[in-house]
Every structure is written in C-alpha cells, then in structure tokens.
A and B are shown apart, each in its own frame.
Chain A
Amino acid sequence: AQKVTQAQTEISVVEKEDVTLDCVYETRDTTYYLFWYKQPPSGELVFLIRRNSFDEQNEISGRYSWNFQKSTSSFNFTITASQVVDSAVYFCALSEETNYGQNFVFGPGTRLSVLP
C-alpha cells in the first residue's frame, strides 16, 4: 500500500537557521509523483513542488530546496535562512493511481515554528 511518513511532528528553529523536513514514502508503482504543500494558519494548502519518479535532480527555488533520492525513498525539503513567515504545517504527498483514477496520499505533516 502507498504510504508517506513524516517522522518529525514538530520542529522549532530560530529565524535565519536552516531546517530540513524529512519525507519517506512507500509505493508499488514504478511511475509516481511526489508533492510538498504548505498549510499556513489560515488552513488552505498551498502547493510548493511536484517531482516525478524519473527526475532525481534536486530543485532549488529561492530559499527552498528539495532532495529526491529514489534509493532511500526520500523526498526531503530544506528551507535556508528560515523566516517567521515560514511557520506552518508542511505536508508531503504521493500520487496514487487506482482503478478509478488518481488519488493523493498525504503524510501526517510537520509543524514548523520559526521563532524571531
């Protein structure tokens, strides 16, 4: 069965520190997609990145970077020079193909608190 694990329930850092959020997944599919979402206090999930299973290149977008390693089934997310506005719950998700269509399996989330 598909599964996403985010072992870190809560992380607290001081502003300007770097922080890495871990994500480990399990899937039986050979082609799959991984996602990261941010949930600020307002509640709406905001899409951050999508990565397909054939693209293991790391990605950088501003202060955000993602490290995808198929060998360890991990898709970790690093925020460099964290800011208070980064405080949110972050979810890693895996796309799942069912007989009916695409579904998303979410991890339990990591709550990040960035302290001034």
Chain B
Amino acid sequence: DGGITQSPKYLFRKEGQNVTLSCEQNLNHDAMYWYRQDPGQGLRLIYYSQIVNDFQKGDIAEGYSVSREKKESFPLTVTSAQKNPTAFYLCASSSRTGDRGAEAFFGQGTRLTVV
C-alpha cells in the first residue's frame, strides 16, 4: 500500500543525546515536511523539502537538522541543541506535479520524550 511510514512510534531520549526520526514515503511525492505538535496546539513547521538534496527551514528549525538524499526519505535529527524536544512529530508529503494545491498526506507520527 502507498503511504508514509514514520518510525519509531515512540522514542525516548536522554538529555544531551541526538536522535533521528525516520520518514519514508512510497507515493512518489516531490515535497516532504516535518511538523511538531505540542499538546493542545496546532502543527508548526520545522523543515520542508521540495526536491532531493534541497530543503528549507520552517518556523522552528533551531535544534533540528534534516537531509534529503533520496526522494522517498526525509529523516529528522533532533539535536542536543533543541532545549525542549518532547513533542509529537509528524512527517508529511505532497505531490507538486501539476497541482499547486495538492493536499498533504501524513504519517502516523513519532512521540518523542526526553527522560
């Protein structure tokens, strides 16, 4: 089945550690996105990428890094510089080909907790 797969579903990080969240899509979408969701709040954009080997910072990129070496993969690293990383992280993708208003498709999310 086509879709977006995020792993792991739950992740625990010790203070000072870097962790990487995986996001893979088999929808052949060009654009991919990472959002952060805090309890009771909406989604805030961390990073997004429109093509391979290129990406842009979103509204809250500090303390995060990404790579886009393959079209289907867009991993997010939460670095030790991110002061408050406990949150729910959502990965999304959308097709840009011929449809400027394409909707975003989302993965199941990763819940990251600092212990």
Contact = CB atoms under 8 A, between A and B. Distances in A.
Nearest to B111: A43
Interface string B20-46: 000000000001010100001111010
Size range of the interface on B? 20 to 34
Interface in A93-116: 93, 95, 97-98, 100-104, 106-109
A103 B103 CA distance: 10
A64 interface: no
A35 B102 CA distance: 10
Interface in B2-34: 31, 33
A95 B88 CA distance: 22
B42 A106 contact: yes
Nearest to A95: B101
B85 interface: no
B101 A104 contact: no
Nearest to A91: B42
A112 to B, nearest CB: 14
Contacts of A101: 31, 48, 50, 56, 96
A102 B42 contact: no
Nearest to A48: B103
Contact of B31 (A9, A47, A102): A102
A31 B101 CA distance: 9
B81 interface: no
Given A103-B58, A104-B33, A106-B43, A47 B100 contact: no
Interface string A33-57: 1010100001111110010100000
Nearest to A96: B45
B104 A42 contact: no
Interface of A: 9, 31-33, 35, 37, 42-47, 50, 52, 91, 93, 95, 97-98, 100-104, 106-109
7 contacts: A44-B106, A91-B43, A93-B104, A101-B96, A104-B45, A104-B104, A108-B41
Q: Top 6 closest A-B pairs, CB basis?
A: A33-B101, A101-B50, A45-B106, A108-B42, A43-B109, A106-B43
